[in-house]
Every structure is written in structure tokens, then in C-alpha cells.
Amino acid sequence: MFDRDTGGASIELRALTKHYPGQPAPAVDHVDLDIPAGELVVFVGPSGCGKTTTMKMINRLVEPTSGEIRIGGEDVLSLHPDELRRHIGYAIQQVGLFPHLTIGQNIGLVPNLLGWSAAKTADRVEELLSLVNLEASAFHDRYPRELSGGQQQRVGVARALAADPPVMLMDEPFGATDPITREHLQNEFVKLQKQLRKTIIFVTHDFEEAIKLGDRIAVLKERSHIAQYDTPANILANPADDYVAGFIGADATLKRLALLRVADVECGQQPGSANLPQIAADASLREALDVMLAHGTDRCGSPSGVLTYGALCEAVGTEPAPAPRLQSVGSGSTPVRTAPVPDAARGEAVGT
Amino acid sequence: MNFSEYVVSRWDTLSLAAGEHALVVGVAIGVSTAVGVGIGLLAHDLPKTRGISLAISAAILTVPSLALLTLLIPITGLGWGSTLVALTAYAFLPIIRNTVAGLRGVDASMVEAGRGMGMSRTRVLLKVRLPLAWPLILTGVRVATQMLIGIAAIAAYVDGPGLGTQIFEGLSRLGSVNALNATLAGTLGIVVIAVLFDLFFFAVRQLTIPRGLRVRS
Ligand SMILES: Nc1ncnc2c1ncn2[C@@H]1O[C@H](COP(=O)(O)OP(=O)(O)O)[C@@H](O)[C@H]1O
Ligand SMILES: [Mg+2]
């Protein structure tokens, strides 16, 4: 099958259509999409636009009405559905762990279906538990009901990864967790994917999540029509239409800053950077801007030099406004002092 | 003769009757569980078959036990045969109904996860739905057993086995020697059997319900 290379396989959708019986219109209508091997593509769109249906046709939990699906060049519709699914990782919002089986047994399910030896499965389960940051000795023999929501989600991801499938389908896998846990799981998942380079289709209705996780984003509208399919940076910089722009929201530039690292921009070596508020090299430019705003300054120090407001503007492709225009910001007649501000901030930063 | 003297003097008869009572209930429940759970497994996902089997087993339960036993005499004769057939038939409703409810009540996300991982329909049924439905199925079997223990007493009218003979003999000659003792002994014996069956089901629960389903969530 397509999983001889577990590092990811390309996915092609051609005129993929699903018309549920008894429905007036198709839920998914002639979708064409190419997903390169090893990339994480996020389907994002409003509830009911057909994200789940599109995804479930790929592992044939939903049988397409018409169209073609190829994974690694292989025609998916000619394979046996159960056999196909054993080679595609699948994680869902409700997790769906089996409560009567231990965590170890849950993770070992697909390896068992594939006929792996008990020893190989046991090793793999151990490896996966540590991959998702759960201590094997503590979790292997526990039952799903004894775990928190976030821990269950991790087990869900481990179970989907169990047989090292080249392709993973994930339907809002972090959707049911609280914001803090979700953020944590997202960060871990980004790291994990950097390491694994699987081909992943990730469904969400949360655009922030899409930006954070996606190598590419497919913004979907009704009937799964693709409004735009591009990298997060390109979608934020050049939304294809009002629909996409509306989905991004009013803070597109801030979202673009969030995608960039401090380490990615040129920092001027300037004397006195030690007196500036400091920002870490792996922080985002959005966080750098936050530091500048919080300290009322237009520059902050990073390990590689001084990061200026101008550099932030350049990073998102805009010209920094000249100083006189900055003065007009404020309440009309009151003149705004610009020059002394950095000094004041500098003073505060060193605590004098 | 007071009650305890009566029990001691008739111990052989009483214990044999009690043993037969328990045996006929046990056999009927065994057959009914095997068949009923089987029907539940086959029918739970087929609306028509499910409706028909539930309707039939409910209809059986509305036939008064005396009438059913009498109707069976031409077919299965007096004694054990008719008793067993009638008891087995009465047990179907609680068993099939709980099996179907348990199998259908399994969270859809678990079925989806199982299918999504490449488990076949049958595998999901036997490895996911059945274990998760098992506590409810056991409850159905237990309720059916309690019901049958009572109904089995009526089998005395068709010359069936069990403690019913004691009760009805006593009742039929109430006022004469030992009549009350016989009725009382039969009734008490049935209560004891019911308690013992309940203890048995408690043990079965502990032994067969997966630990993961018993832990607090
Ligand atoms: N099994 C089904 N039968 C009939 N209609 C369905 C079924 N599943 C989904 N739909 C319909 O198809 C459309 C797309 O649903 P879905 O793919 O779940 O959207 P999303 O995941 O984007 O919220 C919706 O209008 C939904 O009501
Ligand atoms: Mg959905």
C-alpha cells in the first residue's frame, strides 16, 4: 500500500462530491485539491460547510458520490475500506477511546489489527506514550476514564500514530479542551509534526489554530468550495476575497506578526541594547510588539541585537510611518513627545 | 408440628424441590440468554427485525402463565418440557430489550473511532459494543431470573418441577394438618433461591464487567 514510506504521502482529490441521500444539495461539491507529501493542511471554515464530510471521504467513512481520491498515487476507492483505514491515522474531537481497554491496549489496537507481534506492539506503545509526553509506566495500565481531557486527547493522537501511518486525518482533535490545555496541545503537536513530517489533514473552525498549525490552509465555504488555498502568511497578506478577509478578522497584520520569530529578522547591532526591554529569540514578533507597547518604546533588545518598530513594519511589508506622523496620534491639540519616550522606557527597564 | 419440625421432617422432599426449582430456572435463563443476546446482536441495527423480535417477546409476556402452560401441554406435554419452554419464552423480553438498548446506546464516537481505525463492523460489534453493553445485558438477565423464579411456581399446575407443588398443595387443603407449613416452606424456599441467584449475579458482575467500566470517571 501507499505506506511503504511512513514519512508522508501526497493526497489528490479530484472533483470529489458527496450528495447525502434526501438532501437538496450536495454537502461537498466537486472539490479539487493537491496536498503535498509531508505537509499539514488545515481545512478551516464555518460549521456545516462540509469539512468533516470531505475528510471522511478520504478514509471512506463516507463513501463519495463521485470523484477520485489518490494517496501516494494509489486509487483509494479501489482498496478495501477496512484495510485502507488501518494505514491512515484518525483522530476525532470526542477522542473515542475505548473505556473498557487500558491506555496501552487502546494505543495497540491498530498494530494488533495489522498483526504485529506482541513484543513489537509493546515497544511501539511505550515509544508513543513518551512521544506524546505521557510517562509510560504511569499511564500504560490505566483506563481512559482515569485520565483528564487533555491526557485523553494525547492518547488519541498516540493511537492515531500507532502504526506509523503516512497520512493522518484529524477532525478538531483539540476542540473539546479548555483554552490553556488546547494551546499546550497545539504547541506540542507543532513540535511533533516537525519531527514526523506526516501528511496531515487537520479540520478546525478556529482560524487562529489554522494559522498556528498549518503549512497550508484551505479556507472552505459552503459545499466545501475552496475560497483560498495557500500558506498562512500568504492568506493573511493577500486574502483572495471578502469571504476570506472576513474569516481572518480585523487583525490580519497582528496575526502575520505572530507567524514570524524574532530570530528571523535582521537586528541592528546598536550600543546600549542591554538597557532595553529584552525579548527571546524564539518569541514571535507579535510578542515583541507587545513588549514595545508595554514599555512605551519603539525598540527592544534581543539576543542578536536591537529589534525596532521599523523592523516589524518591514517584516510585514509596510513602511514605518515617519516620526512627524507619529506625533499626530493622540488627542488633537496635545503635542505628543516622541524623542524622550525611549529614554523614559529605558530608565524603567533598568529600574532607576 | 411446628414449622421447623415440618422442614426437618420433609427435608429430602423440600431440598429436591428447591434444587429442581433452581435448575429449571437456571436452564431456562441459560437458553434464553444465549438466544436472546444472539437475537439482540443480530437485530440491534435492523429496525424491522428489532421491532418484530421486541413485539413478539412483549406479546409472550402478556399471556398469563397458567394459560401459556396449559396451551403448551398438547405440544410439550406435562412436567419439565412445558415448564422449560414457557420460562424460556418469558425471559426473552428483558434480555432482548436490554441487549438492544445496550448495543445501541454505545457512544457513536467510539464506533466511529473503531471503524476509522479499520475495525470491521463485526469486530466493532463484538469488541466494542458488546463489552460496553454488557452491564445492561447482565441487568436484563438478572431481572428475567427474578421473574422466572416466581413464574416457575405456577408450573406445579402442569406437574412441573419446583417448589410450586408445596405452595399449591398447602393452599388447596388450607386448615388441614401441615397445610400452612407446606405453603410457608415453599414460599420461603423461593425467597432463598431468589437471594442465592442475586448473589450469583453479583459475583458474575464483579468477574465479567471490565475494570475500566467500573472505575470512577
Ligand atoms: N450523515 C449525514 N446525512 C445527511 N447529511 C449530513 C450527514 N453528515 C453531514 N451532513 C450535512 O452535510 C453538511 C456538511 O456537514 P459536515 O461535513 O459535518 O460539516 P462541518 O464538518 O464543516 O461542520 C451539513 O449541512 C450537514 O448537515
Ligand atoms: Mg465537522
* Angstrom distance (rounded) from CA A315 to CA A330: 26
* Facing residue for A61 by CB, picked from B107, B115, B132: B115
Instruction: Tell me whether residues B215 and A145 touch, CB distance under 8 A.
Output: yes
Would you state the pLDDT for residue A106? 96
Would you state the pLDDT for residue A315? 85
* Angstrom distance (rounded) from CA A150 to CA A128: 16
* Angstrom distance (rounded) from CA A229 to CA B86: 68
Mean pLDDT of A340-350: 41
Mean pLDDT of A226-248: 92
Instruction: Tell me whether residues A86 and B217 touch, CB distance under 8 A.
Output: no
Would you state the pLDDT for residue A254? 86
Minimum CA distance residue for ligand 1 atom 10: A27
CA–centroid distance, residue A28 to ligand 1 (Å): 9
Ligand number, closest to the Cα atom of A48: 1
Would you state the pLDDT for residue B140? 97
CA-closest candidate to residue B32, choices B98, B77, B78:
B98
pLDDT greater than 60 at residue A323: no
Please state which of the ranges A74-88, A266-280, A320-334, B86-100 shows the lowest mean pLDDT: A320-334
The pLDDT tens digits for A5-27 are 667 789 999 999 999 999 999 99
Ligand 1 within 6 A of CB of A98: no
* Facing residue for B117 by CB, picked from A86, A99, A143: A86
pLDDT range class, residue A4, cuts 50, 70, 90: low
Mean pLDDT of A272-283: 81
For residue A54, the distance in angstroms to the closest alpha carbon of chain B comes to: 14
pLDDT greater than 50 at residue A335: no
Mean pLDDT of B12-24: 95
* Angstrom distance (rounded) from CA A301 to CA A268: 10
Query: Superfamily assignment of B3-210 in CATH?
Result: MetI-like (1.10.3720.10)
Ligand 1 atom closest to residue A22's alpha carbon, by position in its atom list: 4
User: In chain A, which residue's Cα lies nearest the Cα of B212?
Assistant: A100
Would you state the pLDDT for residue A272? 62
The pLDDT tens digits for B190-211 are 999 999 999 999 999 999 999 9
* Angstrom distance (rounded) from CA A13 to CA A70: 7
C-alpha cell at B167: 405452595
514510506: which residue's cell?
Answer: A5
> Torsion angle of alpha carbons A200, A205, A209, A212, nearest 10°?
60
User: In chain A, which residue's Cα lies nearest the Cα of B132?
Assistant: A100
pLDDT range class, residue B63, cuts 50, 70, 90: very high
pLDDT range class, residue A332, cuts 50, 70, 90: very low
pLDDT greater than 50 at residue A339: no
List CB contacts (< 8 A) between B117 and chain A. Answer: 85-86, 90, 109-110, 113, 159
Helix (H) or strand (E) holding A88: strand A88-92
For residue B48, the distance in angstroms to the closest alpha carbon of chain A comes to: 20
List CB contacts (< 8 A) between A95 and chain B. Answer: 109, 113
Would you state the pLDDT for residue A3? 67
The pLDDT tens digits for A23-55 are 999 999 999 999 999 999 999 999 999 999 999
For residue A310, the distance in angstroms to the closest alpha carbon of chain B comes to: 50
C-alpha cell at A81: 475500506
- Report phi then psi at B53, rounded to 5: -65, -35
CA-closest candidate to residue B216, choices A232, A115, A142, A67:
A142
For residue B8, the tally of other CB atoms under 10 A from its CB is 10
List own/partner pairs for B46-55 with CB under 8 A and 24 or more apart: B50/B100, B53/B92, B53/B96, B54/B93, B54/B96, B54/B97, B54/B100
| 3-state per-residue secondary structure call for A282-316 | CCEHHHHHHHHHHHCCCEEEECCEEEEHHHHHHHC
* Angstrom distance (rounded) from CA B64 to CA B92: 15
Would you state the pLDDT for residue A346? 41
List CB contacts (< 8 A) between A96 and chain B. Answer: 107, 109-110, 112-114, 116
Bin A51: left if φ > 0, else alpha if -120 < ψ < 50, else beta. Answer: alpha
C-alpha cell at B172: 388447596
pLDDT greater than 50 at residue A341: no
For residue A123, the tally of other CB atoms under 10 A from its CB is 13
pLDDT greater than 90 at residue A257: no
Query: Do residues A119 and B151 lie in contact, with contact meaning Cβ atoms separated by under 8 Å?
Result: no
Ligand 1 within 6 A of CB of A53: yes
- Report phi then psi at A68, rounded to 5: -130, 150
Ligand 1 within 6 A of CB of A59: no
Domain range summary for chain A, segments of one domain joined by +: 11-250, 257-351
* Facing residue for B118 by CB, picked from A82, A96, A100: A82
Would you state the pLDDT for residue A347? 40
Q: Regarding predicted confidence, which is higher, A280 or B114?
A: B114
Would you state the pLDDT for residue A337? 43
Query: Do residues A111 and B117 lie in contact, with contact meaning Cβ atoms separated by under 8 Å?
Result: no
CA-closest candidate to residue A141, choices B212, B144, B8:
B212
A220 bridge partner residues: A226
Minimum CA distance residue for ligand 1 atom 25: A48
Helix (H) or strand (E) holding A227: strand A225-230
pLDDT range class, residue A324, cuts 50, 70, 90: low
List CB contacts (< 8 A) between A102 and chain B. Answer: 212
Q: Regarding predicted confidence, which is higher, B138 or B215?
A: B138
Would you state the pLDDT for residue A269? 67
424441590: which residue's cell?
Answer: B17
Q: Regarding predicted confidence, which is higher, A344 or A172?
A: A172
Would you state the pLDDT for residue A258? 85
Minimum CA distance residue for ligand 1 atom 7: A20
pLDDT greater than 80 at residue B20: yes
Counting Cβ atoms within 10 Å, is residue B176 exposed (0-12), middle (13-18) or buried (19+)? exposed
* Angstrom distance (rounded) from CA A53 to CA A40: 18
Please state which of the ranges A272-276, A316-320, B57-61, B83-87 shows the lowest mean pLDDT: A272-276
Q: Is A269 in a helix, a strand, or coil?
A: coil
Instruction: Tell me whether residues B211 and A143 touch, CB distance under 8 A.
Output: yes
Mean pLDDT of A238-252: 88
* Angstrom distance (rounded) from CA A48 to CA A69: 22
Q: Is any Cβ of chain A less than 8 angstroms from the Cβ of B131?
A: yes
* Angstrom distance (rounded) from CA B136 to CA B77: 35
Class of the CATH domain delimited by A11-250: alpha beta
The pLDDT tens digits for A59-85 are 999 999 999 999 999 999 999 999 999
* Angstrom distance (rounded) from CA A36 to CA A11: 7
Would you state the pLDDT for residue A350? 40
Would you state the pLDDT for residue B107? 95
Mean pLDDT of B75-79: 91
Interface of A with B (CB under 8 A): 59, 61, 82-87, 90, 92, 94-102, 109-110, 113, 143-146, 159, 169
Residue type, A90: Y
Mean pLDDT of A147-167: 93
